[in-house]
Amino acid sequence: MSQSTGVAGSRRKWHTKSRTGCQTCRSRKIKCDERHPSCLNCIKKGLHCDFIQTVESPISTVPHPETLKLELLHHFTISTAITLSPDPQIRDLWRVVIPQMAFTTDYLLDGILALAALHIARYNSSRRHFLLAYAIERQSASLSKALPLIPGVTPQTCSPLFVFGVLMLYFSLARPIQEDDMLVLGNGVIPEWLYLLRGIDTLVMAEASIFSSPVSLIFKSTWGSMDYWKTHTPEKYQVLMELEERLCAEAQTDEARLLTLQKAIEALKRSYSFLYSQHMKDQDKLRGFFQWLFEIDDAYLELLRNGDNGALCVLAFYAVLVKNLERYWWVDGWAIHLIRGIYMLLDGEHRLWIRWAIEEIGWVPEAYAH
């Protein structure tokens, strides 16, 4: 079965016209997804979304703005920062050094407040709507201040912009997942945070001074693990070997596509080694999760954009990694969200290819087959 025929026959496309979008999108004459407490267009552009104003919160429960900032900064340093890494040194970096950087870099302070608000909202139902709206507002403010600085990155701005990118990555993962929380590009589907992480990588490569900055500990703490990543011979993993064999049989006439998919699978084997090895620490398992996203190339992303069945199958096996890291609150829920989106795009034959991944994640596709 050809790639184009297989995917086109099973995809669903929804096109809903609405006159109830936010005022910002209407004035820009673009389609609004009507997501609350802020639509995705406003989030991406760092614009204020008037949906935020519609979130109800009893006046008596709304603290003074400065009091709220102090509360959130305090929460970040004593709680949120500790959840961002299992490595004690990196935790201290988030708990002490980065808040100090934020005192002189307002877009970092906005990012910290946004992530702390998401963290509290996740566990405090009585303040959830208010804090989600506040988190979106702070994130939008952070984006509007930081994004114009990225094209002209300097040795002085590289470190704070790198931290900004990481904060936005955590925010993208941690915010409440909604049905359309994927970037639908062409005929494919890609999680937004995948692009954010690759953008961070580009920023790091653009300015070498970051390796002698206060945040260099993030990189230095990974060098040993990354040397092992590059040099060790990973286990074969029967399920990945079977997937590769199927891809080889399918892609006999498209060598470039096959090489791209094989490279993604080879990187996935290394990530699986980090996840399943008894000798790996928790921080190494987390690095395996992130490193695969750095290792895949643009050709693989292009296949995802085009809804390539093979590329989607590889992503499904990556979702198993995600599932095994859902003890981190900012990853929780993404594995099922990914596997469901992939399943809906695949044709019947390729859905059988990802049965192991579905079973490992614990999703029941019958509930969504119709």
Per-residue pLDDT of the chain (370 residues; tens, 9 = 90+): 444 434 344 444 434 445 677 877 877 778 887 776 667 666 555 566 665 554 444 444 567 889 999 999 999 999 999 999 999 999 999 999 999 999 999 999 999 999 999 999 999 999 999 999 999 999 999 999 998 998 888 888 989 999 999 999 999 899 888 765 554 444 455 677 776 777 777 777 666 778 888 888 887 766 667 777 777 777 889 999 999 999 999 877 789 999 999 999 999 999 998 888 777 888 888 888 888 988 898 899 999 988 999 999 999 999 999 999 999 999 999 999 999 989 999 999 999 999 999 999 999 886 554 4
Q: What is the pLDDT, as a whole number, of residue 98?
A: 97
Start-to-end Cα distance in the chain: 22
d(CA 132, CA 36): 9
Q: What is the pLDDT, as a whole number, of residue 101?
A: 96
d(CA 283, CA 335): 19
Please say whether the beta carbons of 265 and 240 come within 8 A.
Answer: yes
- The candidate with the shortest Cα–Cα distance to 36, out of 174, 135, 171, is 135
Q: What is the pLDDT, as a whole number, of residue 128?
A: 92
Bridge partners, residue 185, by sequence: 188
Please say whether the beta carbons of 31 and 180 come within 8 A.
Answer: no
- Helix axis angle, 128-146 to 106-123, nearest 10°: 160
Tell me the per-residue pLDDT of 63-120, one tens digit each, with 9 for 90 and over. 788 999 999 999 999 999 999 999 999 999 999 999 999 999 999 999 999 999 999 9
Q: What is the pLDDT, as a whole number, of residue 45?
A: 55
Homologous superfamily of 20-54 in CATH? Answer: Zn(2)-C6 fungal-type DNA-binding domain (4.10.240.10)
Please say whether the beta carbons of 190 and 172 come within 8 A.
Answer: no
Q: What is the pLDDT, as a whole number, of residue 180?
A: 57
Please say whether the beta carbons of 171 and 113 come within 8 A.
Answer: no
And the tokens for 70? 């102090």
What is the number of alpha carbons within 13 Å of residue 42 lying toward its C-beta? Answer: 28
What is the number of alpha carbons within 13 Å of residue 197 lying toward its C-beta? Answer: 19
Overall pTM surpassing 0.75 (yes/no): yes
Q: Taking the domains of the chain in order of start, what are their residue ranges?
A: 20-54, 63-219, 225-368
d(CA 57, CA 184): 33
Please say whether the beta carbons of 289 and 327 come within 8 A.
Answer: no
Q: What is the pLDDT, as a whole number, of residue 50?
A: 65
Please say whether the beta carbons of 11 and 187 come within 8 A.
Answer: yes
Q: What is the pLDDT, as a whole number, of residue 184?
A: 44
And the tokens for 138? 């702070």
| Alpha-helical runs (H) found in 124-254 | 128-146, 155-174, 192-206, 217-220, 223-231, 238-250
d(CA 150, CA 31): 27
Q: What is the pLDDT, as a whole number, of residue 294?
A: 84
Kindly report the length of the chain: 370
Sequence-ordered list of residues with C-beta below 8 angstroms from that of 65, at least 6 positions apart, any chain: none
| Alpha carbon 211 to chain centroid, angstroms | 24
Please say whether the beta carbons of 80 and 125 come within 8 A.
Answer: no
d(CA 169, CA 118): 13
d(CA 118, CA 172): 11
d(CA 362, CA 219): 34
Q: What is the pLDDT, as a whole number, of residue 13?
A: 42
